[in-house]
Amino acid sequence: MARERQLSLSRRSLIGGAAATVGAVALTGTAAGTAAAATRDVDVAIVGGGLAGLTTARDLVAAGKTVAVLEARDRVGGRVVNLALANGGVTEGGGEFIGPTQDRIKALADSLGVATFTTYNTGKNLLYKDGKKTPYATDGLLGSVPPIDVAGLANAAIVQAALDDMATKVPVNAPWTAAKAAEWDKQTFESWLNANAIVPSAKFLLDVATTSIFSAQPRELSLLFVLFYIAAAGNESTPGTLERLTDTANGAQESRFVGGSQQVPIKLAATLGDRVVLSAPVRSITKSGAKYVVTADGVTVTAKKVVVAVPPPLAGRITFDPLLPAARDQLGQRLPMGSIGKAIAVYDTPFWRADGLNGQVVSDTGAVRSTFDNSPPDASYGALMGFIEADEMREYDAASVADVKAAVLKDYATYFGEKAKTPTSFVLQRWDNEGFTRGGPVAYAPPGVLTEYGTALRTPVDGIHWAGTETSTYWNGFMDGAVRSGERAAKEVLAAL
């Protein structure tokens, strides 16, 4: 079989962003200011200090415009956050990986002097299925495809080829205009898989890929949205593929940032200085004559234009006067966030490497069903990072940290042996419980949403413009998509001013 037709199941990057977790301290931009009773008058008010909002501000300031960025948290980064470790290191609680065709986040990082290093991928992956642990190489004919039965591999390859082909028929800037948009948007991805992934082991691979990419179950997703997401995993010259979403080498998980991914928004915010206001959740956006009044905790900003750069479900919690058009408000009501957490166990050394393992797991059971080696580039200590996703995350949303830790370490011991039971420290990030995100990595579309409400996703409402990774045409749901959306929003605003 051709390599490009193989289904690979590493793990997509999580686009999350939240406050500090157990044993962790969130980093903040040192040049950013905290909210104080004040009034500002600027050309553009930007709601949200994540990568999208900060990128919008950067481009507007470069064009000579005045801006104020209002961030609800006490830190910048949104769904990108570094977590401090007890040993003095840092790990990522949110988005951390980048890969080929993610050109805009790479260019931004380069401009800020934030280097990358290759995700640890030396050694064998592990498949844990039906109670059996199987190490497997990822540099052979099948790449990183888990070693399931031959019939399952053949079926999975056919399914992936079909998905990639259908994705080429979906315009990334307007998926609702695809010739078969109505047909694809009226069914769940689950119903399509049930009809096409007919070998149980193939269905297992596609289910794991789905939860890994979206942190949602196949039953929750529109087929059209899945096809759009695949199409968006590329750039203007390179078509997206399912393999690029799921792979480590040559895929979306290929590299990480030295010092943690939050270094990018922290350094970007530092270039903006006191234009960034922290601890300032926006409560209302009101049209007043030719301007807008944006009211946040501790600060009020008047502006000619507004860019809202937060996830659609959270944008809908802001009070707008006049009311948003019904289509835009209904869109926000219908795009839920995925359910996800990251659990990182820290050890004196990355001991699994001595066993010839790269720390990457695909499993059919447990709280954690996919893992990565999150150790620093110098391997001065070991870190295992596991994703808790979809149904599994919802099961543990209300659990105590101790109970989640016990479940996670049990899984790590199953995969990597008894040494995994005794980490030197443990950090947990549960995005579902983060007040200014409420899930991740992305707001996804169930059936019927894109075809009925998709046109409202990026359409400005008078002087209000929309940014955020959910509005991106390429790498939607990723850090690269967030940067792209900010660049696009800035151009829109500059053209309108």
Question: How far is 378 from 382, CA to CA, in rounded Å?
Answer: 10
Beta carbons of 7 and 208 less than 8 angstroms apart: no
Residue 35: per-residue pLDDT: 56
Residue that has been written with the tokens 């000619």 in this structure: 304
pLDDT band at 34 (very low <50, low <70, confident <90, very high): low
**Cα-trace Rg, the chain:** 22
**49-72 pLDDT per residue, tens:** 999 999 999 999 999 999 999 999
Asked if residue 247 lies in contact with residue 12, where contact means CB atoms within 8 angstroms, the answer is: no
List pLDDT tens digits, range 442-463. 999 999 999 999 999 999 999 9
Q: What is the mean pLDDT of the chain?
A: 93
Categorize the per-residue pLDDT at 145 as very low, low, confident or very high, splitting at 50, 70 and 90.
confident
* Cα pseudo-dihedral 276, 281, 283, 284, rounded to 10: 20
Q: Which of 19-28, 443-452, 476-485 has the lowest mean pLDDT?
A: 19-28
Query: What percentage of the chain exceeds 90 in pLDDT?
Result: 90
Give Cβ neighbours of residue 450 (< 8 Å, ≥ 6 apart): 175, 176, 181, 185, 222, 224, 225, 228
Give the DSSP letter of residue 324.
P
Instruction: From 236, 242, 239, 254, select the one nearest 214 (Cα to Cα).
Output: 242
Q: How far apart are CA 462 and CA 282, in angstroms?
A: 19
Q: Is 406 exposed, middle or buried (0-12, 13-18, 19+ CB in 10 A)?
A: middle
Q: Maximum CA pair distance of the chain?
A: 68
Closest CA to 45 of 320, 323, 332, 276: 276
What angle separates helix 223-231 from helix 200-214, to the nearest 10 degrees?
70
Looking at residue 246, its amino acid is T
If you write DSSP's letter for every residue of 9-42 in order, what string do you get?
Answer: ---PPP----S--TT------TTPEEP-SEEEEE
- Sorting pLDDT into bands at 50, 70 and 90, what band is 39? very high
Torsion of CA 296, 94, 101, 231, to 10 degrees: -80
- Classified as helix, coil or strand, 370 is strand
Contact yes or no for 33/461 (Cβ under 8 A):
no
**Beta strand pairing call for 319-321 and 282-288:** parallel
Helices (H), 262-342: 263-272, 312-315, 326-334
* pLDDT for 32 beyond 70: no
pTM above 0.85, yes or no: yes
